[in-house]
A and B are shown apart, each in its own frame.
Chain A
Amino acid sequence: MNYKNINKVALVAILLIAFGLPLVIRSATYLHILVLLFFYAYLTTSWNLVGGFAGVLPLGHAAFVGIGAYTSTILFLQYGISPWIGMLVGGVLATIAGILIGLPTFKMRGAYFALATIAFAEGFRVIVENIDYIGPFKINGPRGLQIPPLDIGLANFMFASKEPYYYIILIMLVAVVVLTYVISRSKLGYYLNAGGEEPEAAMALGVNVARAKLIAMAMSSFLTAMAGTFYAQFTLYIHPKSIISLDLSFEIAFIALIGGRGSIAGPILGALLLRPVGDFSRIYFGDTLPGMHLIIFGLVLILVMHYQPRGLQEPLTRLYNNLIRRITHNTTGR
């Protein structure tokens, strides 16, 4: 068995385990935790298209989650349009927002870009929190929107149990990971990496850096908004604090930085590590020390940045490769 075959086997095994888990785990609580884990892995992978490949640090992706969630929910509550369609409409609106944010901000470097994206996202949250109607659309200010679970079923993206949500978010995650893989090996991926590392050199080599970043931003915001719709349908209740908060934007960045920005496995590894930490700290410290999870994330981030500045994916990939080499060596040596 050669290296590539082992990789394929490992991949299939991981997928089988992921799809088989709900058969083993019957507890709704654990499934809920897993759904949110995949949700964050999906969000971070989408974020990674801009934050990882394009080499900038967007800290306002919660705004796109919010646009997705509010769009599909309003369309469903006021017009009875299926959230599946609302998901795409939200994606398109978020793409427009992403391009509008990207046009003026992609010229900024480092912290200035990060601050600008925070400003946009916070501005959006404040607006949503303080008005009840945008034109004919009821957004209900800080009270948020509740989706009454009346017509349960696939058409309305509503289910009585956790399993369907689990499979939907898992499929979304697999799709976005595959997309990232394809992009990373394409011209766009090369251009994003080059433009992120040395914009001047990239431009001289024929790369329209601003255009590549805008394309990445458009895709990233579209995908992020889809997750917003998922979240709205999963919890059936959205309000500005829950989905447009800075906490959410920061958590995405934490996961990416700790797992490894710009890599494909990084966001998944980051979510696998941080989400359980976050969930259990909320379970055990939720009453006494709310926000404890962010302190823990901060500590982990400091440690990881100090010892593995390119994220945990790097040592883990090395470990995996060594392991594979040993296995292939043993079998061929026999």
Chain B
Amino acid sequence: MVLLEVRGMTKEFGGLRAIDSLDLTIEKGQIFGLIGPNGAGKSTAFNCIAGAFAPTAGVITFNNETINGQKPWNLCKKGLARTFQIVKPFASKSVLYNVMVASFATTNSRQVAEEKAIKVLESLNFADKKDILSSNLTIADRKRLEIARALATEPKLLLLDEVMAGLRPNEVDEMVEVLKKIREQGTTIFVIEHIMRAIMALSDRIVVIQFGKKIAEGTPKEIANNENVIKAYLGEDYVAA
């Protein structure tokens, strides 16, 4: 079953075309990767899908509903949650408070929100830090908090924007396990990542974009051997003749 379908999505900032008629289809239960060199338009694509910007053209369908230009808070309630590449914790509040803001998305009761938040924190092995001020967290924990908050909104589709950037190798491995666990619990994941080791291990399918255009799509193995991709990342000279 198709969960997210993007057709001909284009985003222009003045004269700059950041995304150029991008197509992609994400099936329910997949881990779907989006990669590309710096400035390729990955985060812009996320912002368009999650409602932070309205795309200039194209159709975005989520769960059989066209969601172009809908506001982020409404999309969140429909089951589309995201994290930010540059983490944005509510710094003066505790970890639990942060996650409760998110779990209020599906309830009005403080008690229910708190129970849900604790459940999410426990599932991420994070509950022992619930009373710590989020400004005192390490970068790895801040990334984890981003995920915890997004999960607490009970999403069908989780958009993860570079949640592994800046992590140490063992922390990356931990995060890979966390994401696999989230998928097992029934959440579809759409992930932007620069750490190839992680994205290759995780993704069922990967789309590569460069200058806003899709240059390749396929399984991790296909992508790793794709000429266009090697060109985009390493330059012409490295393509095996």
Measured CB to CB, the residues of A under 8 A from B are 185-187, 190-191, 193-194, 197-198, 200-209, 310
Contacts and interface: CB of A to CB of B under 8 A. Distances in A.
Given A190-B97, A191-B101, A200 B52 contact: yes
Interface string B46-71: 00001010000000000000000001
A202 B108 CA distance: 16
Nearest to A208: B73
Interface residues of B, number: 29
Contact of A206 (B52, B90, B110, B153): B153
Interface in B17-66: 50, 52
A201 B108 CA distance: 19
17 contacts: A191-B101, A193-B101, A197-B92, A197-B93, A198-B89, A198-B90, A198-B91, A200-B52, A201-B89, A201-B90, A201-B149, A202-B101, A203-B71, A204-B50, A204-B81, A205-B76, A205-B152
Contact of A193 (B50, B73, B93, B102): B93
B84 A205 contact: no
B82 interface: yes
B9 interface: no
Given A191-B104, A206-B102, A201 B84 contact: yes
Interface string B72-88: 11001100011010001
A208 B71 contact: yes
Nearest first, the 5 A-B pairs at minimum CB distance are: A206-B105, A201-B88, A206-B76, A194-B101, A205-B102
Contacts of A208: 71, 73
B148 to A, nearest CB: 11
Contacts of A187: 104, 108, 110, 113
Contacts of A191: 101, 104
A209 to B, nearest CB: 8
A209 B93 CA distance: 17
Choose among A194, A205, A310 the residue with the greatest number of B CB atoms under 10 Å from its CB.
A205
Interface of B: 50, 52, 71-73, 76-77, 81-82, 84, 88-93, 97, 100-102, 104-105, 108, 110, 113, 149-150, 152-153
Given A190-B100, A194-B101, A205 B81 contact: yes
A310 B113 CA distance: 27
Nearest to A205: B102
B110 A185 contact: yes
A193 B102 CA distance: 12
Nearest to B101: A194
A203 B73 contact: yes
A204 B108 CA distance: 18
A191 B84 CA distance: 18
A206 B77 contact: yes
Contact of A190 (B52, B88, B101): B101
B106 to A, nearest CB: 8
Nearest to B97: A190
A185 B110 CA distance: 7
Given A190-B101, A197-B90, 5 more contacts: A193-B90, A198-B91, A200-B88, A203-B73, A205-B152
Nearest to B110: A185
B189 to A, nearest CB: 16
A68 to B, nearest CB: 31
A232 B52 CA distance: 47
B91 A204 contact: no
Given A194-B101, A205-B76, A200 B84 contact: yes
Contacts of B84: 200-201, 204
A291 to B, nearest CB: 34
B105 A205 contact: yes
Contacts of B153: 205-206
A308 B105 CA distance: 34
Contacts of A206: 73, 76-77, 102, 104-105, 153
